[in-house]
Amino acid sequence: MVYKIFIKVCLTIVLLTLSLHSISASKEFDSLNSIPFENASGLILVSASIEGVCGKFIFDTGADQLLINSAISLEACDSDFSTVQGEVKTQKIKISSFRLGQIEIENFQAFATDLSQLESHVGSKILGIIGAKMLDSEIMHINKKDRVIEFLHRKTLKALFSSHNIQIPVIFENDIPIINLSLDGDSYRFILDTGASISFIDKKILDKRNDLFIKTDSSFDLVTASGEQSSHFYYKCNAVNIGNIIFSNVEVSPLDLTEMQELFDVDVSGIISLDSLPFSSLVLDYKNGLLYCSY
């Protein structure tokens, strides 16, 4: 069974040299600023507008930038940036107005590239990819059950606690969340990515611990932002722990992540898709470096 997959796997945006960290919303967040989303082939889609043009964007915890579909007619200049899969042609764009729910951001720089493969994957027109932390929220709640993203004040955090919560430390590099996963007692760091439709593990780890993985008959074609395409198989693993929770039949695919690992100060062994985790909601506490999960 072969699936046609486009997955960014954090390769598109993580190497952009211009950071948008200094951008902040022109209005303070309300104590509960809710953004409805839809799930499209394992990716989170939200409605937003850019320069008055309304449409769908992918919401991505694995990015801190705004990437625009080059199909949108905006004034731009050519620019290149690197991904672990090669150079990607982009254009620098000056954005005067971006709006997501009640969040407004003005006068900043974004990048544009061809997202037609991504549109084919989700089956819908896509205006761009929104990096989660560019929205400058201290607390973010992804409610998978009700399909809502909420940007919160800290005082509202306790209201989300329940007996089903587990608390996991998070490392943020370039505002990209990295969590520890345990494979049969050995700890590895994985990027937590809502902008990935499936999960990846470094091929070296799978080769070393092949006793933990079972190759399936399902495969997919990986199409990266740089246009390269390759076929990969899914593997199942029954020895995955996050915190004190054991997961069975977690599907991952091996990939050579050597070049991506060079982008981080800590060892990164894989990318875990939010869609792969059976949690009903996740809360990211950027200030204290914590992830709260409910199941």
At residue 25, the pLDDT reads 45
> 283-292, pLDDT tens digit by residue?
999 889 999 8
Per-residue pLDDT at 72 exceeds 80: no
Beta bridge partners of 39: 44
At residue 223, the pLDDT reads 60
Range with lowest mean pLDDT among 6-20, 230-244, 259-273: 6-20
Tell me the mean pLDDT in the region 168-180.
Answer: 88
Q: Are 25 and 135 in contact (CB under 8 A)?
A: yes
Rounded CA-CA distance 110/87 in Å is 17
Other Cβ atoms within 10 Å of 176 Cβ, number: 25
- The Cβ-side half-sphere exposure at 4, using a 13 Å CA radius, reads 7
- pTM to 2 decimal places: 0.79
Report in angstroms the alpha-carbon separations of 126 from 40, 144, 165.
11, 21, 34
| 41 pLDDT tier (thresholds 50, 70, 90) | confident
Q: Max CA-CA distance within the chain?
A: 53
Other Cβ atoms within 10 Å of 98 Cβ, number: 25
Q: How does DSSP classify residue 144?
A: T
Beta bridge partners of 36: 148
Q: Are 270 and 202 in contact (CB under 8 A)?
A: yes
* Residue scoring higher pLDDT (166 or 55): 55
Per-residue pLDDT at 19 exceeds 60: no
At residue 224, the pLDDT reads 56
**What's the whole-number average pLDDT of the chain?**
78
Q: Which tokens belong to 256?
A: 């050579």
Q: How does DSSP classify residue 119?
A: H
